[in-house]
Amino acid sequence: MEAVRTTAEGATRIKTKEVKAFGTQAADADLGQMNIQRRTPTPHDVEIEILYCGVCHSDLHTARNEWHGTIYPCVPGHEIVGRIVNVGSHVKKFKVGDSAAVGCMVDSCRECQYCKEGLEQYCEQGNIQTYNSPDKHLGTQTYGGYSESVVVHEDFVLRVPENLDLAATAPLLCAGITTYSPLKHWNVGAGKKVGIVGLGGLGHMGVKLAKAMGAEVIVFTTSTSKVEDAKRLGADDVVLSKDPDQMNRYAGKLHFVLDAVSAKHDINEYLNLLRVDGSLALVGAPEHPLPVAAFSLIPMRRSFAGSMIGGIPETQEMLDFCGRHNIVSDIEMIGIQQINEAYDRLLKGDVKYRFVIDMASLKK
Ligand SMILES: [Zn+2]
Ligand SMILES: [Zn+2]
């Protein structure tokens, strides 16, 4: 079904197509089926039939307006893998039938210093996120991957290595790049000792990636039940963070710590694991400020840092790296009708390690 709509500026008329989606109308409402409009591809766009979409904690935060600023209706999903079904007349990178992926961003200003460096996630104008950002084409908000299809400028579409399982690739688009980017930025590789704090959706990718980069990987977890799993994922050692003796074994020993915990925790305990010039980067986002003791940093010239997803060139680099090393996420596949239950389980940490929605279920 095609309709003609007028954009916010009122200047251009863009044709749209109505597609099925799953989203929510309010912070306290369950997600349910709805219809949304997708633009018909402009010359540089590709239209992707979505086959799989990963379920990120950000989806839940946004659907429930926990970070404020959610515009309803809200259709989450930014770990998208699918197949190209239509391409605009000027598209060069893709052809119909190619598999393709879309992550957390669908556009940016493309002109600022960061966009020019391929760091679109830090765009001075603010990147255009895959959902809940202003859609400059339609004048609405952007809608994410819990839907039949998506239309994206080819510059923000990624190639998927042929050897990777498509469903298990979906979480690489957020959980994968969010951990890959800081591991690369802080030069993780052979000869480096790296701590991964928290073994969830992000942490389990951090372990696999850091190990493939050649580092010695130590997982820090609060739960004894995760020790064996951490080793299966590739950890060289696992430390129960509640045990001071175990923590002390690594005091001043690590080159880098990737902290993927979003619950409240004492950051000083982890800063103390760093050797001279070591860095700790946060990728989890605890709700409240974290107190940092000056003497956790000063005596060893340590750095306390953060990192957000990754730019488009680096996201492609990450996918290619995963292709070469045969790395995908550990997933639990669900139908879209189970999404509300999946959110409840996500809150309890009851998933190994990422839910992925089989989007064929939306057609039922
Ligand atoms: Zn995410
Ligand atoms: Zn920019």
- Give residue 284 CA to ligand 1 midpoint distance, Å: 11
Ligand 2 center to residue 156 CA distance, Å?
13
Å from CA of 250 to ligand 2 middle: 40
Distance 132 CA to ligand 1 centre (A): 13
**Confidence (pLDDT) at 342:** 98
Tokens of 350: 């009851």
Nearest residue to 275 (alpha-carbon basis) of 358, 191, 354: 191
pLDDT at residue 364 in the model: 82
Report DSSP state, residue 242: T
Find the 316 Cα to ligand 2 centroid distance in Å: 19
Ligand nearest the Cα of residue 105 is 1
pTM over 0.85: yes
* Spacing, Cα 222 to ligand 2 middle (Å): 39
Per-block average pLDDT, block size 10, for the chain (364 residues)? 48 84 98 98 97 97 94 98 98 97 98 98 98 96 98 98 98 98 98 97 98 98 95 98 97 98 94 98 91 97 98 98 98 98 95 97 92
Which of these, 220, 147, 207, lies nearest to 176 by C-alpha position? 207
Distance 180 CA to ligand 1 centre (A): 13
Strand partners, 38: 17
Among all ligands shown, which has an atom nearest to the Cα of 128?
2
Per-residue pLDDT at 196: 98
